[in-house]
Chain A
Amino acid sequence: MKKKVLSMLLVCVMAVSLVACGGGKDDNSKEGEGNTSQEKENPGEAPKSEENPEGTPEDAGEEVLLTAAWWGSQDRNDRFTGAFDAYTAGSPNVTFEFQINGFSDHLTALSASAASDTMPDLAMLQTDYLKTYTDAGKLLDLTPYIESGALDLSKVPENVIATGKVGEGVYGISAGSNAASLIYNKTLLEENGIEIKNLMSYEEFIEVCRAVYEKTGVKTQFDNMATWLQFLSRENGKPLFDGNALGADSAEVFLPFYEMVETGKSEGWLIDQGIQTANGGSTEEQALVKYTSPETQSWCSFFNSNQMVSLQAVAPEGVELDLVTMPCKDPAKAYYIRQAMCWTISAGSQNIDEAIAVLNWWINSEDANAIILGEPGVPANTDISDFVAGKLDDTTAKTFRYVTDVVISNSSAGDPPAENGASQVQGELANQVCEKVAYGELTAEEAAQEFFEQANAIMAAGASE
């Protein structure tokens, strides 16, 4: 009989231990995070701190743990973590936890944490997504902190601040300025005596593509499709997106780009789309730097100017990259300075004052920027950008000069913040339609029409939200 009771007990213990196991681990993992998880995972109190921007005066010794999230290359990770570590060295009570992912996983993780009000204190966000997050009330309006001087933007030009605005509030601070560019294999072109210059027209660009292909067999790859289309729209006097529709009135506007792709395909200088797709989307996998034969190589790539640094870092030995403007008809109308990446602070952050202090340091301190060294682009603070300019390696210096010497004098104001759906149009539709031309599934006319119709449909669907 005793055994019977004993074994019953045993079963009970097993059952209890199942539950207890969960609880026990809970404690452990909390311990591992230090005292922070409770602080930051307490969304209920978030609005309070928003009402009171000054917050509570904070003890110097109080331990604070901030989470910072971004996406990017290994190179960026090293610089960013280095900069945050430097901050900790200066204020030992502040430590950081990093949430690093590839671009699409970054967005997945971020929207998941937004859904659960566990946004990282500091998050890097594409300006396309600003509106979605501010509409949902997830981002902190920085205006009161700018006014109080806690966030010193006196050295940041007004038009740069404007890129982080949604409505009346400032929700993001540019992580760096850059501009769309044509990044090319300088070594290859020089070896073959092919000239290239800034502010080329489509025709001049196509001539270069033909020349490279004839002399070396190396092909041309198109990227950044949405920017090509945006430039065409802007040359026509319209932003790419106007509210919940495309700015352009007709599909005709986009035709020149698709015609160029079609020409490339029929003349053979366009890289095989299969190879391009199989390479994948990340900067470092592009045919500009990753190739084994002329067939799999591209002499150029279209990315934002700052990305040349990571491209150069993975380029084969002896290959030097350089950059010029993307071909267009009317650069002054088409071009604009991009502040596509911005730092945001979560509205639900429990350490808003510390987060502001870090952001302020990030923007205004020479220490921080001596480590970041303009990786995401030219720093927003003009004093700092001058300071950084003197410390750059050759490659980054090229990208800085490109923005400050070439683009600024040949550009106009950027498009207004995009509505819901814009990210789908730019990130997916624009690429797919162009790919269809490259695979030979659509003619240029059909492609322009398809982009025009579907983009408008996506934007309209986003509007009903």
Chain B
Amino acid sequence: MARKKRRKVIYHILTMLFGVVMIYPLLWMVFSSVKESNTIFLTATRLLPEKATFENYVNGWQGFSKVSFGVFIKNTLLVAVIAMALTVISSALVSYGLARLRFRGRNVLFALVLLTMMLPGEIVMIPRYLWFNKLNWVNTYLPMTVPCAFAIQGFMVYQMKNFIEGLPKELTEAAKIDGCSYYSIFTRIVLPLLKPAMGTVAIFSFINNWNDYMSPLLYLKSVPKYTVSLALKLFCDQTSTSDYGAMFAMASVSLLPVILIFIFCQRYLVEGISTQGLKG
């Protein structure tokens, strides 16, 4: 029994230790952001600052060319939330169709879904850009949101489809016998059960859009419309040596929403993924 206990203690110590190594870089960045800017690298090995200061945050928050960081955060939230909502709705519709309804061309469609997962995004970047430009979408948020309404992120559809296939068939069969149409089966039976998977997809979609750098770089032209990642890159290009503290501070701010979501929605993430069947 004592041996078992000792093993347990060792297990916890090891797992904990390694876990700390994993998140140490992030802790380091956050703690550095409250150090005085010129002491960051002199005291790099010490995590805690001698004197905590929020000056870096005040400096960084001012942003650049008179646009405060708050504007960038507001822009990014707008894009990420809309894109998230559209992705969840459209992926749910499509994944139900693929998972439960038999129709001609279903397998081809599913193959296309898988294909979108394997396609290098950069290759369609330019033609898509020209195409969106024809639609007068450049310098708006449309290129980052509208495509989300069409379920073209294969991974999301794939996730949900697997989830739906894992639901007991009896439920939908019974509804069908009761005379429910496929549409009401979807809204009344599948949709409520789909919540965990929708949660997962929502989170992934939000984080992807929050972090996205290439699309804003291509499509957003004017500073007041910039998203956080674009602003952060520009901010660093320009102030990297003069103010490490502000850079770390704004980088920490940009990670905050992701970390918050993670803390509050951890269950969804783990459950959502764990319930997916692997039929590879």
Contacts and interface: CB of A to CB of B under 8 A. Distances in A.
Do the two chains touch directly in the complex (Cβ atoms below 8 Å apart)? yes
Interface of A: 3-4, 6-8, 10-11, 14-15, 18-19, 21-22, 25-26, 29-30, 33, 37, 41, 67, 69, 72-74, 77-78, 81, 97-102, 105, 108-109, 112-113, 115-118, 120, 280, 282, 284-285, 289-290, 292, 313-314
A19 B149 CA distance: 7
Contact of B141 (A10, A29, A117): A29
Given A18-B86, A26-B142, A7 B188 contact: yes
B218 A102 contact: no
A175 B133 CA distance: 30
Interface stretch (B163-171, B237-245, B272-280): B237-245
Q: Most chain-A Cβ atoms within 10 A of its Cβ — which of B139, B234, B239, B240?
A: B139
B222 interface: yes
Given A99-B222, A102-B234, A116-B138, A21 B64 contact: no
B222 A15 contact: no
Q: Top 6 A-B pairs ranked by shortest CB distance?
A: A116-B133, A7-B184, A102-B237, A29-B140, A18-B149, A22-B146
Interface stretch (B15-23, B28-36, B175-183): B175-183
A285 B241 CA distance: 6
Contacts of B179: 4
Given A7-B187, A10-B183, A290 B141 contact: no
Given A15-B93, A108-B217, A116-B138, A102 B233 contact: yes
B223 A18 contact: no
A117 B136 CA distance: 11
Contacts of B126: 115
A37 B139 contact: yes
A120 B142 CA distance: 20
A109 B221 contact: yes
Interface string B195-217: 00000000000000000000001
Contacts of B76: none
B5 interface: no
Q: Most chain-A Cβ atoms within 10 A of its Cβ — which of B82, B186, B241?
A: B241
Contacts of A15: 93
26 contacts: A4-B181, A4-B184, A11-B93, A18-B89, A18-B90, A18-B149, A18-B150, A22-B149, A25-B145, A25-B146, A30-B140, A37-B139, A41-B138, A69-B221, A81-B66, A97-B222, A98-B223, A100-B65, A100-B223, A102-B234, A102-B238, A105-B217, A116-B129, A116-B138, A280-B240, A284-B242
B130 interface: yes
Nearest to B180: A4
Given A113-B221, A285-B240, A8 B183 contact: yes
A74 B181 CA distance: 61
Nearest to A30: B140
A73 B242 CA distance: 11
Interface in B57-73: 64-66
B140 A112 contact: no
B262 interface: no
B64 A77 contact: yes
A290 B241 contact: yes
A22 B132 CA distance: 13
A267 B182 CA distance: 80
Contacts of B11: none
B237 A289 contact: no
A285 B186 CA distance: 57
B221 A120 contact: yes
B41 interface: yes
Contacts of B149: 18-19, 21-22
Given A11-B183, A41-B138, A67-B221, A313 B65 contact: no
A98 B238 contact: no
A25 B141 contact: yes
Given A3-B184, A22-B145, A102-B234, A313 B221 contact: no
Contacts of A25: 82, 140-142, 145-146
Nearest to A17: B89
Q: Most chain-B Cβ atoms within 10 A of its Cβ — which of A6, A29, A115?
A: A29
B189 to A, nearest CB: 10
A78 B65 contact: yes
Contacts of A282: 237-238, 240
Contacts of B41: 292
Given A18-B149, A25-B82, 8 more contacts: A15-B93, A21-B86, A26-B140, A41-B139, A69-B221, A98-B65, A100-B223, A280-B240
A346 B93 CA distance: 45
A109 B82 CA distance: 25
B180 to A, nearest CB: 7
Given A18-B89, A18-B90, A74-B238, A115 B221 contact: no
